[in-house]
Structure 1
């Protein structure tokens, strides 16, 4: 199941290493396949968890803010070079805000596997399809793998 995630409009995804994208896609596929084998009532708590999941933009802003505060705190003495960290972090956050991607996003995505909002939403819609919120997904035809594939494709449309 390699071609279901066609999120070409996702700027962070398009700038990320293909290995990172593949790892994230495989994690989503495993989850959807697992949920396809569970009762419908098991899906709702996981959907609630996805609602609270941080996306890569939010995580990058937090990392940048922490680096800025740390640089200011450690650089409070005259002549300290730690203030440079604050300036660099602020510049990286500006880049993230203006362009929607940057080294901070790449860092939290590569290290933490943090997903974009679009990727999180794709998983949510696939799980909602499995739960029966949409009509396109076969109820019992083809087994859990066929249902998982149909849910991932439906989430894209």
Structure 2
């Protein structure tokens, strides 16, 4: 399949190692190709509902850093031995992520395969295109051609 994911302005993708980006893109391609082969509208709709509940990178980073920060404050109140530093580091990582859109915590979460909202939305739009929500997808050609057209349409 030709390269379809051209989100070069995405700071997360630009700071993520190419191998991680390729792995995430391959997972999307595999799903969209499987749906293109089946062309089962109810299955596509069910998977779209699942995607609506998928946590994106920003949400995971925010929850993780906040939880560590609160944990550090709770432990500092009980023990007091340097646990405030844990809270400070977590808050700093969250601030860095908020200012720059990426940081060490983001890199760790990204390596676990967590996707950005743009990447999740791209898959959703490709699946909606396959389901017939858009008129730009040709009905002729094989599943691979339809999957590729759906991914390209979702980018534009």
Q: TM-score, normalised by structure 1?
A: 0.94
Equivalence for 1:95: 96
Equivalence for 1:130: 130
Question: Is contact 2:2-2:148 (8 Å) kept?
Answer: no
CA-to-aligned-CA distance 1:123-156 (integer Å, 9 cap, x gap):
00100010011111112x2211111011111111
Equivalence for 2:47: 46
CA-to-aligned-CA distance 1:33-69 (integer Å, 9 cap, x gap):
0111221221111111111111101100011011111
Equivalence for 1:9: 9
Question: Is contact 2:76-2:83 (8 Å) kept?
Answer: yes
Equivalence for 1:75: 76
73-82 vs 42-51, which deviates more? 73-82
Q: Alignment RMSD, CA only? A: 1.2
User: Deviation at 1:77?
Assistant: 4.0
Q: What is the aligned residue count?
A: 155
| Counterpart-to-counterpart distance in 2, 1:37 and 1:103 | 39
Is 1:154 matched up with 2:149? no
Secondary structure in 1 aligned to 2:77? coil
Secondary structure in 1 aligned to 2:145? helix
| Counterpart-to-counterpart distance in 1, 2:18 and 2:76 | 38
User: Deviation at 1:104?
Assistant: 1.5
Equivalence for 1:143: 142
Uncovered stretches (5+) of structure 1, i.e. residues with no partner: none
| Counterpart-to-counterpart distance in 1, 2:80 and 2:123 | 49
| Counterpart-to-counterpart distance in 1, 2:122 and 2:23 | 15
| Counterpart-to-counterpart distance in 2, 1:26 and 1:77 | 47
| Counterpart-to-counterpart distance in 2, 1:5 and 1:52 | 22
